[in-house]
Structure 1
Amino acid sequence: MNCSFALEANAYYSISFDNVKFVESGIFLVNEEGFIEDVFEKDSVEYKSIRKKLVEDGKLRVLDDKHFIIPGFIDLHIHAPQWPQSGSALDQALEVWLNKYTFPLESKFKDLEFASEVYTNFVKQSLKFGTTTAMYFATIDVKSSSMLAKICARLGQRALVGKVVMDDKISNPSYYRDENAKDSLKKTEYFINDVLAIKDSCKQKVYPVITPRFIPSCTDEVLKGLGELAKEYKGIYIQSHVSESDWEHSYVKERFGINDSFALDSFNLLTDRTILAHGCHLSDDDMKLLADRSSSIASCPISNAYFANAVLPVKDAIDKSLNIGLATDISGGYSPSMYTAIRQAIISSRMLNDGVDPRLRSGKRGREDSSLSLNNAFYLATLAGGKALKLPVGKLEKDYAFDIQIIKIDDNIPSFYKEKSNLDLFHKAILLAESTNIEEVWIQGNRVK
């Protein structure tokens, strides 16, 4: 047995969009590299002998019935430098929020002492809420963007980090933009290589991401150059925003005569490692194109409620074979907790399904078959994120990274009698848990909380 240690625990994890599997007192063997070497369920022929051997070797930790484990969450879209303004100005229009609040804040991250303080604090907050894999936008500053990757490596979080590209002199403020396309591309390539140099310095790994902020902030020249970089650095991740709001979606349509997704594709920026945030205004053709390219959408239900002017029809997109993951979108989303994002994803989908205008009769008020179940939303936060990133994360099975949350049942999650099913307890915990219920967080076999 190639086993560093083993954990015996009740466990829940997604096996499909609709189904969550419950494992009673499963034994999870973890190897030196931090991957699940094997899982033994109670009905396994080998269960008793494996358990006996692990106990004799002092390698088995046993959790009681007041605890269970779930996979760590995968947050596909976070603006880490926006953490100081979380909860601020969310009643403003997107373009006002960006220019009055967000860009002035992000411009401060050339101060490395300030950047270190904010980034360290945020990564710790993210870990506290069980986020084991995070995809970050940093800022246009190269040094502090690289610093974010190094902080994640040091604190044990699996991270994908992008130096933001913004070179358009008309759309971006003079105090916060790249000097020109050539300068932006040079700095982006420098950043890529800086992060690649430390990628394998930690077990969980950190990755560079090509990051045009969104089409309105970028010239054609820089978008073309980023597409060429993506070809040169094969397998590199790409992230941006797509068809987020009426304003952003219309801007791209007027500029190119096509929607965001087709514009990004024309610059070779849609690949199987592209993750695009929002997508609330995607057409059927957009969804087909993204699915054909094996790109993914990061659904941001909280920020969508504030800025997107629409609700992403997640079930419709999935029916069209488009992979959808989940994200907090700090700070358009005010909470670093993926639990909050899961809950809002369900609420928003119910409102889309039923409609919100009481002047219309019920049959005409909503979009039928749009409601997400908790099982659906949990899938978005775990297994779908792993699928988007092409990484073995988000599932508690053999050969997946041992990224887990240990959840404790306490007074936040009332349990005065035995639930009607094992899933009832799981559902209650996901909807009611606070950060204090997340007793421990493990990433790649290392405890980080």
Structure 2
Amino acid sequence: MDDAPNSGRTIYYGAFVHCKSLQELDICESGAIGVGEDGKIAFIERGVSDIGLDGVKQTYDWGNAEEVRVNDEGFFFPGFIDTHIHASQYPNAGIFGKSTLLDWLNTYTFPLEGSLGDLERARLVYDRVVSRTLSNGTTAAAYYATIHVPATNLLADICLSKGQRGFIGRVCMNSLAPDYYRDASVDSVIADTRATMSHIADIDPKHDLVAPIITPRFAPSCTEDCLHALGALHKESGARCQTHISENKPEVALVCELFPKSASYADVYDSAGLLTAKTILAHAVHLSDEEKSLIKYRESKISHCPASNTALTSGCARVRDMLDRGITVGLGTDVSGGFSPSILEMARQAIWVSRHVAMTEGDQAKLSVEEVLYLATRGGAKVVGLEDRIGGFEVGMDWDAQMISLGKVSSDDMNLDTEGPVDVFGWESWDDKVAKWMFNGNDRNVSAVWVKGRLVHRRKSYKG
């Protein structure tokens, strides 16, 4: 038996839930998950009672391991992955008026993003958005920053400091943007993107937490030679790429006008070398069948942003059709086109969007609770290329997890502020409790969050 006073190992004891497949949840009502000092899951035991926990410790020679217990009505769940979020737009979350995409950019977005060249202003915004997403259980996020190198580097610094996995993108845009907020040339686009990539390599050489992601804003904001230069950098560096595609109809028409030699919006990116297995395409609301086939062939990934698509009246993405075609899909908040930094909220919104599609195209379009939770975790992990490390609970995977607490209704305690808005009466099945959380939960149900075994967020009520 190890007699060391602090082994750096932790056993997480209680119920745990994760997605076994797209259609199936794996619910363990009483288990023990051992996490080593490297932040990886060392063992998983099921059906463990309080007495049995001592046996688990003896079996694995973990007698001095720390114990973390979830309450009776709660459970451990994998951390959420936000596959599309504009960190620079967070102050505008919920502010979009009656805008549609293109006028929203000019009225709300570009002025805010342009102002973040001021590092103190950027620090205020980025510090809060990383803290806020962590508090909502988001353990990994693909972030868009701004065109400013120092501020983008600052976002990477903050993610690393706070312990959140971040794909950090310096936004590239040398066309169709205000004079005060655009890249001066193709050369400056590449030089400034390389500068951020170099900074991230300096602070996290192995990209354990933060990594660069090449970020052409969208095709209309980049000239053809700019897109091709970024495609060459994408191939040379091996870094991931993120951009937007087919968000609304006027945007699609604009792309056809700006790139008349291209067969489609997707072909614009493909011709530039930007449609690859490491590419994240946000929205994909108005893709043609040919574009979907091309995206599947190139193994590019889709970030479904249901709240944003509704808020800006962009349309309803056909997620069921994409899944049936074998296209990888995750969820994105798309703050601030989306009003909330919560991926749990996006899971709800994904269900509502699918049901609106079903009203005209049939019930087969509906997404289930199990499916949207899969998109929020394992699906998102595949989108960012970390499916072997995060998104579920298996031996060898990183402990990126959240502790979900649910309040049991009791006549002795009618305090509505204890465990968030989900009321559990005691007679619900575990499937019922998970569904209640999915439809009613929020950040108040997130008691604690870990990334690679490190505690990165906790509520005051968390006892540890």
Question: What TM bracket, shorter-length normalisation?
Answer: over 0.9
> For 1:204-243, what per-residue CA distance to the aligned partner results, in whole angstroms no more than 9, with x for missing partners?
5100010000000000111010011011102x11000011
Residue identity in the other structure for 1:144: A
Give 1:187's match in structure 2, choosing from 181, 187, 192.
192
- The Cα of 1:429 is off from its aligned counterpart by 1.3
State the one-letter code of the partner of 1:50: V
SS of equivalent to 1:382: helix
Among 329, 332, 335, the alignment partner of 2:334 is 329
- Give the 3-state SS of the residue equivalent to 1:277 in structure 2: strand
TM-score, scaled to structure 2: 0.89
Does 1:428 find its partner at 2:432?
Answer: no
Deviation at 1:48, TM superposition (A): 6.6
Could you tell me how far apart the structure 1 residues matched to 2:274 and 2:193 are? 15
Q: Is the 8 A contact 1:407 1:439 kept in 2?
A: yes
Q: 1:59 to 1:89 in 2, by over 3 A?
A: closer
CA separation in 2, counterparts of 1:58 and 1:127?
25
Please tell me whether residue 70 in structure 1 is matched to residue 77 in structure 2: yes
Q: Which residue of 1 aligns with 2:365?
A: 370
SS state at 2:30 partner: strand
User: Are the equivalent residues in 2 in contact too, given 1:90–1:332 (CA < 8 A)?
Assistant: no
CA distance in 1, matches of 2:20, 2:148: 40
Query: Matched residues in 1 for 2:235 and 2:200: separation?
Result: 18
Structure 2 equivalent of residue 360 of structure 1: none
Counterpart of 2:410?
Answer: none
Distance, in Å, in 2 between the alignment partners of 1:90 and 1:149 is 31
Q: Does 1:249 align with 2:252?
A: yes
Between 1:249-258 and 1:374-383, the stretch displaced more is 249-258
Aligned residues of 2:32 and 2:48 also touching (Cα < 8 A): no
CA deviation map 1:295-319 (0-9, x unaligned)? 1100000001123532111111011
The answer to whether residue 173 in structure 2 is matched with residue 166 in structure 1 is: yes
SS in 1 for 2:32: strand
Tell me how far apart the structure 2 counterparts of residues 400 and 271 of structure 1 sit (CA, whole Å): 25
Counterpart position of 1:279 = 284
CA contact (8 A) 2:172 2:189 kept: yes
Amino acid aligned to 1:238: C
Match of 1:362 in 2: none
Residue 109 (structure 1) aligned with residue 116 (structure 2):
yes
The CA distance in 2 between the partners of 1:119 and 1:249, in whole Å, is: 31
Does the 8 Å contact 2:71/2:405 carry over to 1?
no
Question: Does the 8 A contact of 1:40 with 1:47 survive in 2?
Answer: no
Residue 438 (1) aligns with residue 446 (2): yes
Which residue in 1 is equivalent to 2:395? 398
Q: Find the counterpart in structure 2 of residue 380 from structure 1.
A: 375
Q: Which whole-Å CA distance do the structure 1 matches of 2:257 and 2:114 have between them?
A: 29
Question: Who is 1:305 aligned against?
Answer: 310
| Alignment correspondent of 2:203 | 198
Checking the alignment, whether the CA contact within 8 Å between 2:85 and 2:143 is kept in structure 1 is yes
Using the alignment, how far apart are the partners of 2:298 and 2:9 within structure 1? 39
The whole-number CA distance in structure 2 between the counterparts of 1:228 and 1:103 is: 27
Which residue of structure 2 lines up, in the alignment, with residue 143 of structure 1? 150
**Matched residues in 1 for 2:265 and 2:362: separation?**
24
Separation of aligned partners in 1, 2:48 and 2:444: 33
2:248 alignment partner AA: S
Match for 1:233: what amino acid? S
Q: Is residue 2:185 matched to residue 1:177?
A: no
Does the 8 Å contact 1:240/1:277 carry over to 2? yes
CA distance in 2, matches of 1:175, 1:55: 59
1:50 to 38, 50, 56: 56
SS across alignment from 1:448: strand
Q: Select 1:98's aligned residue among 105, 108, 113.
A: 105
**Mean alpha-carbon deviation: is it higher for 409-418 or for 189-198?**
409-418
How many aligned positions are there?
433
Equivalent position amino acid for 1:298 in 2 = S
Q: Deviation at 1:3?
A: 7.3
Q: 2:28 aligns with which of 23, 37, 61?
A: 23
- Is 1:408 paired with 2:405? yes
Alpha-carbon distance in structure 2 between the residues aligned to 1:48 and 1:4: 15
Q: 1:247 to 1:8 in 2, by over 3 A?
A: same
Q: CA deviation at 1:143?
A: 0.7
Shift, 1:434, TM fit = 2.3
Cα distance per residue 1:249-303 (max 9 Å; x no partner): 1111233342221110110001211111000011122112111211110000000
Amino acid at match of 2:367: L
Give the Å deviation of 1:417: 3.0
Unaligned runs of 5+ in 2: 408-415, 458-464
Contact 2:8 2:65 in 1 (8 A): no
Rounded Cα–Cα distance in structure 1 between residues aligned with 2:333 and 2:102: 19
1:8-56, CA deviations, whole angstroms, 9 ceiling, x for partnerless residues? 1201101111111101221111112211122111289x97732455674
Give the superposition deviation at 1:118. Answer: 0.7
**Alignment of 1:228 onto 2:232:** yes
Percent pairwise identity: 36
TM-score, normalised via structure 1 length: 0.92
Match of 1:29, SS state, is strand
CA offsets 1:56-77 (integer angstroms, 9 cap, x no match): 4243333331321100100000
2:204 and 2:293 mapped to 1: Cα distance?
Answer: 33
| Aligned counterparts of 2:333 and 2:364: Cα–Cα separation in 1 | 24
Encode CA deviations 1:94-132: one digit per residue, 9 max, x unaligned. Answer: 111101111011001110010011100111111110000
> Using the alignment, how far apart are the partners of 2:299 and 2:313 within structure 1?
24
